Amino acid sequence: MLRIDGLTKRYKTGDQALKNVSFEISGGQVVGLIGPSGAGKSTLIRCVNKLVEPTSGSISLNNREISSASGGELRRIRRRIGMIFQEYALVERLTVMENVLSGRLGYVPFWRSYLRRFPQADVDKAFMLLERVGLSTHADKRADALSGGQRQRVGIARALEQDPELLLVDEPTASLDPKTSRQIMRLILEICRERSLPAVINIHDVELARMFVDRIIGLRAGEIVFDAAPAKLDNAA
C-alpha cells in the first residue's frame, strides 16, 4: 500500500507545487492522476521516487517510510518501485531481453557484457515476463526494431523484472495511437490486478483514464480537487 500524508513541495524558485496532499492506494488499485499543466503531477511522482525532496509530509510504501530513507535503505525501496515512461527509455542498441534484464539492476546499464552474466533464474523470469506482455518471439530483436506499442510492452516487462511493490507510470500512451494506447492501458490494469500492485499513472488523456483506471485523483495548483471513481467525474465537471 502507498500512503501519502500531508505532502508539500515548495521549490527554491518559490513555486508551491504541492499543498498538503494526502491519499492512500491499496494493492491492485490503479489511480489515474489528472490535472492541467503545472498542477503538480510530475512533482508528486518525483517525490515518490525521490528525485525531488518534499518540503514536508510523509510517503510510505508497505509501511516503510520513503521520505526519510537514505543510503542503502533508499536504494532498496527504489528497487521496489517500477517506473514506466512516456518515451519508454529503452537502450536502442540492446536486445529486448537485455532491456528487460536491465530492470533487475534498477537502472539502465550501458555495459553490455554485464547483462550476459545474469543468473539463469533472472533470464527465465525475464522470458516469462516477455511471454506475459506478448513479446516472447521478439526476445533477441534489438529495441530499435520494435513499434511504439512493442517498446512500451518491453518497458512494462522491465519494470516487472525488479519485482516492484508499486508502479509509477508517466504518460504511458502519449506517443501511441488510440488503439495501441487502449491495449497498453488494459495490459497495465490486468497486471496490477494479477499482482495486487498499486499504480499511479500520470495520464493526460481523460477518456483513457475513464476507461481503464479504478480511481481518478485530480490535481489543480498543487491541491487535490477530485478523488473518486471515474464515473463520478461528470458530476464534478
The residues of the shown chain that bind ligand ADP, judged by CB under 6 A, are: 11, 13, 15, 17, 35, 37-43
**Smallest gap from residue 145 Cβ to ligand ADP (A):** 28
| 192 Cβ neighbours under 8 A, 6+ residues apart | 28, 29, 30, 167, 198, 199
Of the pair 17, 187, the CB lying nearest ligand ADP is at 17
Q: Which long-range contacts (CB under 8 A, 24 or more apart) does 131-137 make?
A: 132/157, 132/160, 132/191, 133/157, 133/187, 135/96
**Smallest gap from residue 132 Cβ to ligand ADP (A):** 29
**Smallest gap from residue 195 Cβ to ligand ADP (A):** 27
* Cβ(170)–Cβ(95) below 8 Å: no
Grid cell at residue 207? 477518456
Q: State the DSSP code for 68.
A: T
Of the pair 38, 134, the CB lying nearest ligand ADP is at 38
Of the pair 39, 188, the CB lying nearest ligand ADP is at 39
| 65 Cβ neighbours under 8 A, 6+ residues apart | 58, 59
**Smallest gap from residue 73 Cβ to ligand ADP (A):** 25
Of the pair 16, 180, the CB lying nearest ligand ADP is at 16
